[in-house]
A and B are shown apart, each in its own frame.
Chain A
Amino acid sequence: MINAGPLEKSTATTARPTRAFKLPDQLFLHILLIVILFFMLLPFIWMVGTALKPDADATPTSLSGTEKNIGTLVSLFWPREFHWENFVKAWNGKYSANVPDVSFFDAPFTRYFFNTIIVGVAETVGVLFTSIMAAYAFARMEFWGKGILFGFILATLAIPHEATYIPNLVIISQLGQIASWLGTNSYTALFLPWLGSAFYIFLLRQFFMALPQELYEAAQLDGISELGFLGRIAIPLSMPAVLTVGLFAFLGNWNAFLWPLIAAPNIPVVQTGLRTFVGNADVQTEWNLLMAAATIVILPIIILYFVVQRRFIEGVSRTGIK
């Protein structure tokens, strides 16, 4: 076996032939990990399984019932028959027979998705713009008060979002007096407070600082302006960081809950929408519809995650973003 990597861990173990017996360690390890993983992903398995069940089967019945066999256990997770129309019902908010039929464009989840995506795109583009500009200035330019201003940015890192909610609500409602499209219950209110991010500035600055100084000097000799250097050289070279920031900004918006709830209750986004679904539903809703709704909310993120999982994990393990 040709392995140029670090020393194999087992070398020292194999050097001692005194062991009584030895199971294949790796196999044992994999079995153990798969079992742990199964329990870890159990909620998702149950979610999808329940979402597809017919109404009557959605609540598990006890083993003390009539069928006392392994089939009951399996039927907890595996639907007897697949009811894909549960997803359509959940999308249309038809959690009881009283709810009237709606067209696709009026369906609750169509509105939630539309609102979330509009706000998400605006927030991602906006925060990328402000963060890239500021990060570049702090990484490459010399100006008075640079140290103090950067210290100010680092200080705002310690402020929890919750602490800013009430004052921000006041600010937003004051802005609403000026123009209604800025005030509460407007799309703008949902992303405006989050357009400046200390963490993203810090992260991007690290990347811009790592660019070789020679590049910058060469560009200056060629007479490229700061903006030109930023747009044509710095951003393309730091694309991984820029994409990671964009991804996390969009994800953060997708998962936002409390701020949309208080700042724009009339503009339901995905999370607040799902929550009203649960709130209305409480005990009247069949669980399969509730689980179908949860699946609808989770699925886009899971698909996105599998497409760019490397970037996700790299981003998290490198920056410790949480």
Chain B
Amino acid sequence: MRAQIYCFYKEGCMASVSKPITKPPETGPLQTDAAFKRRKKLKNSLKAYLFIAPAMLFLFFFNFFPIIYAIFLSLYQRISVVKGVIPPAENFAGFANYTRLLTDPDWWNAFFNTIGYVFGSVFFGLVVALGIALLLDKVKKGKEFYRVAFFLPYVTSLVAVATVWYIIFSPYASNALVKPNPDRPGGLVNWVFAAAGIPMQRWLIDDRGIFTIIFANGGKVDWLSGLIRLLVVAALIIVAVVAYRRLNHTLGVWVSAIVGAIALLVGWTVIVELAHLFPWTGWAGGPSIAMVAITVVAVWYSLGFNIILLLAGLTNISRELYDAARIDGARGWSMLISMTIPLLSPTLFFLLIVNTISAFQAFTLFFAILPSGPTRSVQVLSTFYYEVTFKRGSGTDTAGFGYSSTIVVFMLLLIVGINQLQQRILAKRVNYD
């Protein structure tokens, strides 16, 4: 009896049953007329339509239709309050909104800020997450604990987190000091800066580029001390290389990385002095310090998400492959670059797309991290869109749903375009083996 039930589910096991079973006669397609079949399908279809109707209704009205409607609205001007679904005919403006968008310096500012933010946050987000995930993958006991702990920031709400970071970066003490004051350095970051003797910064509010700020304080060049420090750097690099060669795999990589970082720090002081000779203005000033601060928060926030997915990808790489590569002589970085990363490429590719799209749409962080709203250097597309829609004077030419719908259409095109581009370029190199 048991065997029979088992055989009922498993194909091709009939032979194992001792008693010969007569196979049921082969039945051809049922002899039914086409009309009956069609009626049955129609009946089934009606039932299925009832099942999908609620979801389709909501998706159509609140997801699909809005896109069409946004394109429609982008052809109109001076509609800040929509009285009916169709705006009055005299407000029809053709492509005026689009030409205006392309000549609007505020739009271009927001556009380039967004591009910079996307590159910075996605790149650093993935690199840091990969570093931590590689470490986590080596842990034998307590991996679960780290997974839960590292994921924690990602489940918290961005508005609350932005409030915390606003205070961490704040240059003010709570009782309204206008200038950074070493005796009351405000937030945590400035406290650390003050303690380390580094000039405190007006994070989140300062539009000056980061290179402008760093290199402006370079001071005069001290050639002798510069030479000595360069020698120290050379010695440290030798130590790093030796440590990397001599020590075993994990330890070697990390000791060399730490010694290398110290070398970089010492070398940095020389670079700062030399860089003083060059004027760091305009594009050379780099991203604004406010953008850097916000990118740090963004990387921190999405770290948990990236780590979890990378870890899942790493666990799928079989241990035998690692052992085979090790026997072939792969160590440390060469193992990472020629083996782990190619095998991880599907996960990395997925994360690249998801992170890029969500970075393009980032709004809450930029909007909520400062009570007064984003300054010019951290105005991104979505905050610019919000400002145009809800903040600028209503009823005038500068504001309105028409112009902001144009922004939306552009954002949509950008996101879909970048998605396609990444698919085309990267999909070829991704190893789906």
Contact = CB atoms under 8 A, between A and B. Distances in A.
Scoring A161, A293, A297, A313 by chain B CB atoms within 10 A of each residue's CB, the highest score goes to A313
Interface residues of A, number: 115
Contact of B300 (A32, A40, A61): A40
A37 B9 CA distance: 49
B347 to A, nearest CB: 9
A174 B73 CA distance: 16
B245 to A, nearest CB: 10
B382 interface: yes
A33 B45 contact: no
A283 B175 contact: yes
Contacts of A196: 54-60, 62-63
Interface in A220-275: 226, 251, 254-255, 257-258, 262, 270-271, 274-275
A149 to B, nearest CB: 7
A162 B51 contact: no
A154 to B, nearest CB: 11
Given A7-B320, A320-B309, A282 B371 contact: yes
A309 interface: yes
Contacts of A142: 41, 44-45, 48
Nearest to B246: A20
Contacts of A33: 132, 135-136, 139, 146
Interface in A134-149: 134, 136-138, 141-144, 146, 149
B47 A226 contact: yes
B65 interface: yes
B13 to A, nearest CB: 15
Contacts of B159: 255, 257, 271, 274-275, 297
A278 B67 contact: no
A50 B73 CA distance: 48
B233 to A, nearest CB: 24
Contacts of B405: 166-167
A160 B415 contact: yes
A30 B142 contact: yes
A138 B48 CA distance: 8
B157 A297 contact: yes
Nearest to A133: B51
B76 to A, nearest CB: 12
Contacts, number: 329
A287 B187 CA distance: 10
Contacts of A22: 248, 251
Contacts of B360: 160
Contacts of B51: 133-134, 136-137, 141, 226
A174 B305 CA distance: 39
Interface stretch (B92-100, B177-185, B259-267): B177-185
B225 interface: no
Interface string A8-37: 110111000001101101101110110011
A6 B323 CA distance: 11
Given A13-B248, A59-B174, A309-B148, A322 B354 contact: yes
A129 B135 contact: no
Interface of B: 9, 41-42, 44-45, 47-49, 51-52, 54-67, 69-70, 73, 82, 84-85, 132, 135-136, 138-142, 146-153, 155-161, 163-168, 172-176, 182-188, 191, 194-195, 246-251, 254, 300, 303, 305, 308-309, 311-312, 318-320, 322-323, 326-327, 350, 354, 357-358, 360-361, 363-364, 367-368, 371-372, 382, 385-386, 389-390, 401, 404-405, 408, 411-412, 415-416, 419
Of all A-B residue pairs in the complex, the 9 with the closest CB atoms, nearest first, are A196-B58, A167-B66, A137-B51, A134-B55, A143-B45, A143-B48, A196-B59, A193-B62, A164-B66
